[in-house]
Structure 1
Amino acid sequence: MAKLPKRIDRECLKKFLDSFDNVLTDCDGVLWAGDMIIGQAHEALNKLRALGKKVFYVTNNSTKSREEYVEKCRGLGFVAEKEDIISSSFVTAQYLSQLKFNKKVYVIGTSGITKELDEVGISYTGAEPDPLVENPVFRLKDTIQLDPDVAAVVVGFDGHFSFPKIMKAASYLENKDCLFIGTNTDERFPLGKGGLVFPGTGCLVKAVETVAERPPIIMGKPSGLMFTVISTKNNLEPSRTLMIGDRCNTDILFGKNCGLITLVVLSGVTEMEHLEAWAASEDEEQHKLLADYYLPEIGDILTLINENYN
């Protein structure tokens, strides 16, 4: 049986706090659920800043630009600057910029992606509703026109995902020199409301991947590309960096892949039953989903710090 994550308590608190200088934290399911803050998450993050820790908000969500994330963070009581926001859309734009990409991107996604592309001067098409209006659907082959300047397809979250968008993306990807990028592979969003499942970007990426018959390059967690962008810009030492997340197959696996200290909170998609099942499994791949530490929610660290340092 693999070792379960250790719950942070007063006995290990000092050792834990002394082990890192930098904090990377997921957002949905850790800090907030939708537009509702989770417990005392804002006070906990601000307390870690007060203790001298550098805090970054690291999210696979591609629907907002960094400016929009700063606005949301501040509105919920978190201290945040644009440079503190590392989103999958930001990493996507940085990746293309580093490749000196100078053609056009077909975007399945929202302004969260296009605003980041604007910042690095990359042109794009497709980021608007494209509903199915042809009847029957097979008439699309006579009406769809492809842009010859497109040399990359980016798939992020898109509430207007449609058959025409899948068809266009896959058609561009018939050219094997066309880049195929997925912002992330999250299966679902933490909705915070019982009985409803909110599909994540992963199902959209998988749909395009299936018909294109080729895998995408993934920008978000657990891909190491996200940490490469963060560490290059901020000179972070992996062994002195803490990753906080609620989703073990992205957040915690990301931390493990990059050599970070990991903390899972049970306020999002992961439950204690999941941790126990992975620990009991003989599958070593499931053992990689086990964090170093856990807490019911990130706000619990605030209570521990206040009890022991005030």
Structure 2
Amino acid sequence: MKHYTKLIRPYLIWSLLIVLVPLFLIVLYSITTGGNELVNIQFTLDNFKKIGEPIYLDVLKKSFTLGLLSVLICLILGYILAYFITRFKDSTQDLLILLVTIPMWINTLLRTYAWISILSDNGLVNKFLGIFELTPRTFMYTDFAVLIGLISDILPFMVIPIHTSIRKIDPSLIEASYDLGANGFETFVNVILKMSIPGVINGIMMTFLLSISTFVIPKLLGGGQYMLIGNLIENQFISVGNWNFGSATSIILTVIILVGLTLMKKFDREDKEDYDVHK
């Protein structure tokens, strides 16, 4: 036991330095005022109350609206893609899932710049329209551009958990549904869809949390005119220098993420229990 403790001690110290200390400072700044100096600070909850001002409520509203819309589209596309992948044999499924995850290996900034080259006025889309002598369209700095960027960034996080849930379904249950007289649609709704709900919930949680916390995509594809909660936090720390309000906003976002992760863990546990029952 002592040998084990010695082995993990460096990791505990490292975790303390890079996780707990910064987190403590963020919490401290969020409940204090007096600038970035730790001297003469005063404790207050005004930083949290400030998020209730109309301008910041609009930021939250915009973040949740774009987040929910991107999640809805990802849910439709992701479920179709995940279901399509499960129609193949196991080795092919593994290959297709690998292809789905490949974009995740590329830095988000690089992927966003790729979309700029596609959606800009002289981008690939308008060049394609020009082949057919169609009027060029403006895609950049619009809701459409931001939405496309968000969807392409978070779609794999919807596909993977849904695919995992569908793949776990015992084929004998599907066969039993057909044997009892159910048609393809009824089997899909009552067996496949119902038993893949935990994967759907996990996918929704992951994609929603990622969509509301991102700041690179709205900043580049939205032209700086889209202030989402991630951009607000970045702006308060870097541009405005109001670390106190920026920390309070970060705490609010962290709470949202923790609640989401708790729900994900709950549904994932239920998914495993259901799988063990039907196994």
**What is the TM-score of this pair, normalised by structure 2?**
0.22
Q: Which has the higher helix share?
A: 2
Structure of greater Rg: 2
Flag the structure with higher strand content. Answer: 1
Higher relative contact order (CA 8 A, sep 6+): 2
TM norm structure 1:
0.21
